[in-house]
Structure 1
């Protein structure tokens, strides 16, 4: 029997879990006998080269960060490596012999208070380390806390660092705070999750019972109602946990160190009453001084560090800025980690580290760092601006608009927040507001080419084509080497049926950027429309030399081949596209058309049906299946498909296609199936 090995080396011993985000295996490396690892296969909504590139880059960044962390904190799981197989992404993690906390938190069997305090203290020590390095666990729950067999210590596993690429619903919401569900991740989101774990441990609750507990919240405050009157618990411990799980993250503990201090103070109180009084005096004095510092706006200057230490921090910060400016974002993150470790209140370091995470594609982490910068300095307009872009990338457009607006309130003469708000307003269809914002950005910064570009794209979408061309002209006047401006002007020219002008613009874009795939694709389409068979083929072939996994090139080349009767070649192209994306509806639909042309009705019917199975609202697939059913003399089936297509076309505003479907229905309902019909010989084609 042939055993399948992952990456040619990992033999699956056991499937540990299979949920919406990932399938997890316990494996053994056949090259290293008796060596066990955890392998996770991530379920990606789109296994395309861009998603895989982002995942690969995120993995490399996280491995470097966690490896440095492990030098001072060995209670975190190690990331070993990653690999790709059949267009799927796998990560290999250290296997920690031991048992999960779920084996200790049993329904109806509460842990003792001292056990829970010990649990909290151990995990909080880990959180102090990882938060300092800019890592948020994001997925703390009993199943991700392992009691290590070798020393009986707790280890934190399964760092969920890839959520921004895996756009699925989380299945562990009972441990997740509201802001994290809403993609507004904070460092103290981990503190909330740990607080819920503590409640489960103290009360002996299952995950389902925790979910019920969270549902039964105070309607006015949103706070979890616990413990009940019959449950006895140290009031000071309950107060600490209540602050950990506060609904409002502003009222929650901000740092893991704060929770640790309170827990240590609680333990100290229980042993030495006199020491408690002294601690309170010192804490009160410290809070008075800190409050005074904040009021004067110069807090950290009251606690001057030695000159050499201050110079070291400044050098580290500047090194990070220099690396960021040079495009070394991983290196910048490392430097800002060190700055924050030395000076946890440094808002600028959080801000710049967030910028670096944004450039690395880690938008959740970027948003969290910007939020921390805002917490430390609410008057920092740049932090609001940066968080706005992170929220934009996370698809939180209304929240992004709110942040851009706040940035504008703090500094109304900066062009960038207007630009960002314009982008977000475009996404929520506030076209008037978006145009006004792009125009304001241009008024403040007359050579802001990106603002011209986005205003031009929006104007084209609103059918203000001449105004759009004027925007692209303005960019080219400012920067004659801006390939994007030529490309966008080419798109507009093509819509205006100025095909030769479009060809020139696409060619100029390609001359500036010889790897401009989209320009090759659109120029190929224009050549195809003009009947220039060889030129079109060369453009599609050029794309596939640059990126052999660019699906659209196969689909467009397939359409081109179909147009001059090369149905076999078209089928080959659509098949290649489906190898890269097995759920590509356009490829199934178009391949069905090609199969129909070569007389393979069965294969055509299967492809149309597959397209419908993937997307039940795909009007073209219903229409095309109606065509083939009519050819197969399946009158009722053809009518049913045409009616479904007509309804969908009407909903989608496709007037001509709706009329086509209605005409076919009329022919079938008023006549018996003729030997020769007036319907199109093949179905409708789709490019994307």
Structure 2
């Protein structure tokens, strides 16, 4: 092989970069005269053969995705080819003739607002495509944004394929904290782009951006980047602030959301410009029309004044809503509606605020008014659908989601909402279809995968359920719900070790995940790991001392290894929190019975029956007590009632147990001597 050629076709013209993690070359393809490309050599972090095999597979997968991605968008640097040579990995990229944004963002020379908005819009449009393919750029900074010479358009280059393979980072000037900590999110790219916007507005170098990251508000922890000398559009500042929020959960989640808010600014500016042009035309009519102009100008001022006031109040309401101040948002929307009772948008957003406050009736009413004012507003139907769902009106909700879909067939969220409503009506097939459609429209929609997986599990399609939860975890490895739901499914499959691992992963991500502690504790209890089970139940009560189920489950656990007094203490604590807890009475009765306190046991079973006359276990257990007390007729009556309820509930084994006890009593055989296991440990809430 020619030593000067890479992959027997790429002649090195120049070494552009020679770093620890690989080299970058400017090359010429000898098979295509005059064709120049960028070749990057990627250095694996380990020489371990097993690790290398994994990395090579990952490399091929990432490169193939980037290759497809470059074909889909003309403003994404194309990946021409990828290959392996002498155990080294290489990618061949398009050479973009042009200048990096570092030539435009110059220290001490801020860009105009309109330039920054244009920059943000251009890159966000690219990120919409990038993220839809499951790709995160990982290294957005001015040097990786090229102004193409041929058409002056911005092109995104240098996707972090090396970082993706090695989980390492080099330059952190523009990176958010979760990426630095190895917990990468899609909106990590949004943060980095927000930092680029700040650099452009202030005229800052990379070093100055690094210094700026340390200037944080002591109370909120957010970056302080605006100063007295900087005059910037308030709405643009709000958008950038939300892009660079420290906590990724409070940041914009999707590039489309940022684009939508930017469009509102540009549309508002266009409207103002049109109004200015109208005024100018009136002035140019001359002195001959001065009287008419005088009257017309006064008539023009009033509507304009109201329009500005409405816009200001509406935007302030939106800002308060975004900040979580829903009461304040409602006040602003109220005033906007007073100024213009036909402001459909204000009704729509006020309804959203009422929804957040749990006032679903008012949310429904506001959405209905928005629909009345604008029957083509798909979002209003969507919002009303969610309000109706919360009110338990699932059929009406489905009708609204369906109308929203008719108006906007590409709205993944409307399909998702309809899927949730169909789930409530036990229309599992329809729900799966809706969640699948939402996924088709939005391939990274983890909530849709999650809900579809839950239905698959309900239908005993456990393999499909596991696949959905696997996908959730693959898309977002930090989604604790994905691990938790997969753990539930593993537990049903009797894969207890796998379930424990999933619950543990969920807890590591969310240390306050009560349900994960509860289910992990139950498995530990089942396999006899008494200490671990107790620790899990105790952990729940440290997080929430009023979580009664933790007392119930810890009581069941204590009962399982003979600590009946401890079990009684736990059930009593649960009853202090909820005096109508049938499960606590029933299980405490079991513990009293084991201690020989038949009177107390009988009282607890009777209380359980008084609260819920359909509690089969309580009748069964009281039948056992009455048998011990020689109350034959009372015992038979209880066992008959238990048998009837068990049969209605489809619990065939328990039904047969009750029938056997009746037969024993009627034949004057030996009496029942103990409660069945199902009346003790398996009675959970």
Structure 1 length-normalised TM = 0.55
Q: Please give the alpha-carbon distance, in whole angstroms, between the structure 1 residues aligned to 2:508 and 2:556.
A: 26
C-alpha separation in 2, matches of 1:330 and 1:643? 56
Q: Which runs of 5+ in 1 are unaligned?
A: 1-301
2:333 equivalent to 1:336 = yes
Q: How far apart, in 1, do the equivalents of 2:332 and 2:543 lie?
A: 35
Could you tell me which of 647, 655, 668 is aligned with 1:671? 668
Question: Cα distance, 1:684 vs. partner?
Answer: 3.9
1:464 and 2:461 are equivalent in the alignment: yes
What pairs up with 1:215-234 in 2 under 5 angstroms?
none
> Aligned ranges for residues 524-563 of structure 1 at < 5 Å?
524-563=521-560
Alignment partners' CA distance in 2, 1:304 and 1:400: 43
Separation in 1 of the partners of 2:334 and 2:651?
A: 54
Change (3 A) 1:337 1:629: same
- CA distance, structure 1, for counterparts of residue 300 and residue 504 of structure 2: 61
Q: Given the superposition, is the C-alpha separation of residues 321 and 670 from structure 1 closer, same or farther in structure 2, using an over 3 Å criterion?
A: same
- CA separation in 2, counterparts of 1:369 and 1:485? 35
Q: Secondary structure at the match of 1:653?
A: coil
Alpha-carbon deviation of 1:313?
Answer: 1.6
- Which digits, 9 at most, give the CA deviation of each residue in 1:26-51, with x for residues without a partner? xxxxxxxxxxxxxxxxxxxxxxxxxx
**CA-to-partner distance for each residue in 1:403-434, whole Å, 9 max, x for gaps?**
11111111111111111111111111111111
Q: Does structure 1 residue 353 correspond to structure 2 residue 365? A: no
Moved more, 357-366 or 320-329: 320-329
Match of 2:318 in 1: 321
* CA 626–485 in structure 1, closer or farther in 2 if over 3 Å, else same: same
Distance in 1 of aligned mates of 2:597 and 2:352: 55
| Cα offset, 1:328, TM superposition | 2.2
Between the aligned partners of 2:454 and 2:565, the Cα distance in structure 1 is 38
Which of residues 303, 310, 313 in structure 2 aligns to 1:306? Answer: 303
Maintained 8 Å contact 2:450/2:469: yes
Call closer, same or farther: CA 1:440–1:544 in 2, change over 3 Å: same
Following superposition of structure 1 onto structure 2, how do residues 67-216 of structure 1 map, counting pairs within 5 Å? none
CA contact (8 A) 2:344 2:369 kept: yes
Unaligned runs of 5+ in 2: 1-298
* 1:596–1:682 Cα contact (<8 Å) kept: no
- State the SS of the aligned residue for 1:497: coil
Q: For the residues of structure 1 that align with 2:422 and 2:431, how far apart are their CA atoms?
A: 5
State the 1:333 CA deviation: 1.6
Structure-to-structure mapping, 1:461-540, within 5 angstroms: 461-540=458-537
Deviations 1:285-326 (A, max 9, x none): xxxxxxxxxxxxxxxxx9985323322221221122122222
**Hey, what's the Cα distance between the residues in 1 that align with 2:676 and 2:408?**
60
Where does residue 643 of structure 2 map in the other structure? 646
Give the Cα separation in 1 of the matches to 2:558 and 2:675: 22
Which whole-Å CA distance do the structure 2 matches of 1:634 and 1:679 have between them?
16
User: What is residue 435 of structure 2 aligned with on the other side?
Assistant: 438
Which digits, 9 at most, give the CA deviation of each residue in 1:112-169, with x for residues without a partner? xxxxxxxxxxxxxxxxxxxxxxxxxxxxxxxxxxxxxxxxxxxxxxxxxxxxxxxxxx
Matched residue, 2:394: 397
- Say which one has the larger Rg: 2
Paired residues of 2:422 and 2:430 also in contact (CA < 8 A) = yes
> In structure 2, how many angstroms separate the alpha carbons of the residues matched to 1:465 and 1:681?
27
Query: Which of 1 and 2 has higher RCO (CA within 8 Å, sep 6+)?
Result: 1
1:671 to partner: Cα distance = 2.6
What is aligned with 1:578?
575
- For 1:608, the equivalent position in structure 2 comes to 605
Partners of 1:579 and 1:653 lie apart in 2 by 32
- Number of equivalent positions: 386
d(CA) in 2 for partners of 1:649, 1:550: 29
Counterparts in 2 of 1:681 and 1:465: CA distance versus 1, 3 Å: closer
Cα distance between partner residues in 2 of 1:671 and 1:414: 69
Pick from 409, 413, 426 the counterpart of residue 416 of structure 1.
413
Give 1:454's match in structure 2, choosing from 439, 451, 454: 451
Asked if 2 retains the 8 angstrom alpha-carbon contact of 1:413 and 1:444, the reply is yes
Report the TM-score, using the length of structure 2 for normalisation: 0.55
Note the alpha carbon deviations across 1:350-370, whole angstroms, 9 max, x for none. Answer: 111111111111111111111
Q: Who is 2:166 aligned against?
A: none
Structure 2 partner of 1:629: 626
Task: State the distance in 2 between where 1:304 and 1:442 align.
Answer: 49
Q: Is the 8 A contact 1:438 1:452 kept in 2?
A: yes
Cα distance, 1:679–1:670 mapped onto 2, change above 3 Å: farther
| Contact persistence 1:567–1:597 (CA under 8 A) | yes
**Counterpart in 1 of 2:381?**
384
Report deviation, 1:514.
0.6
Q: Deviations over 1:251-272 (max 9, x none)?
A: xxxxxxxxxxxxxxxxxxxxxx
